[in-house]
Amino acid sequence: MNATRTASETLSLRQQSIIPIAAFAAAGDIARLNAALEQGLDAGLTINDSKEILVQVYAYAGFPRSLNALGELMKVVEARKQRGVQDKQGQLPSRPIPKGDALLAAGTANQTKLVGQPVKGALFDFAPVIDEYLKTHLFGDLFERDNFDWPSRELATVGMLSALPGAESQLQSHMGVSMNVGITATQLNQLTRVLADRVDAGAARRAREALDRQLATRRGS
């Protein structure tokens, strides 16, 4: 029993490696991203896993940083190939991504499941287009790609948001989403330590504070 509990409460080396990759890509720290990508591939991420993390960056930190990070991944993969390292390519999505109204419906369903309830509010009434883009681009186009599971996507999201000062509200929200997809509070505490050890104190502090707020909210509900 103890061994089972320990395994379930601990992020794997592969899961841990997602966090600095996402953080450095979102922060635009390409020099440190290089080493994090190497460590991730060594820890069991496939090339396609790494691509999924870096493509997802566009939703949180913009296309320029996503594109720059993908360019760095290309360099890392080629350099490893030149050294004789044969990294696994990994899986592609098992089904086509919906389009049009079907994409909006799928994204809405995904968002509701991830958050735990339908997402509404004055902001989305004020600017309906951002609600549509969240549902279609983020929760549709990205979260419909089933070659990278939802817990992995949330570890990446929390890593990205922790690296971005000013995104504390969204970070707290995604701490909750992470728990909704099966990541435990103990594992999220471990995530904050990974940030402290491998990224920087500021990212770790923001993650720790967001987790504390989310846990307080859950205890009060």
Q: Please name which of 69, 16, 14 lies closest in space to residue 194, comparing C-alpha atoms.
A: 16
What is each CA distance from 47 to 5, 15, 81, 156, 207, in whole angstroms?
A: 30, 15, 12, 15, 27
Q: Which two tokens stand for residue 162?
A: 């922790």
Kindly report whether the global pTM for this prediction surpasses the value 0.85: yes
Residue 9's pLDDT band, with cuts at 50, 70 and 90, is confident
What dotted CATH number matches 2-92+147-220? 1.20.1290.10
Of the two residues 201 and 8, the one the predictor is more confident about is: 201
pLDDT tens digits along 102-130: 999 999 999 999 999 999 999 999 999 99
Which pLDDT does position 2 carry in this prediction?
Answer: 33
Residue 220's pLDDT band, with cuts at 50, 70 and 90, is confident
| Domain assignments of the chain as residue spans, ordered by start | 2-92+147-220, 96-146
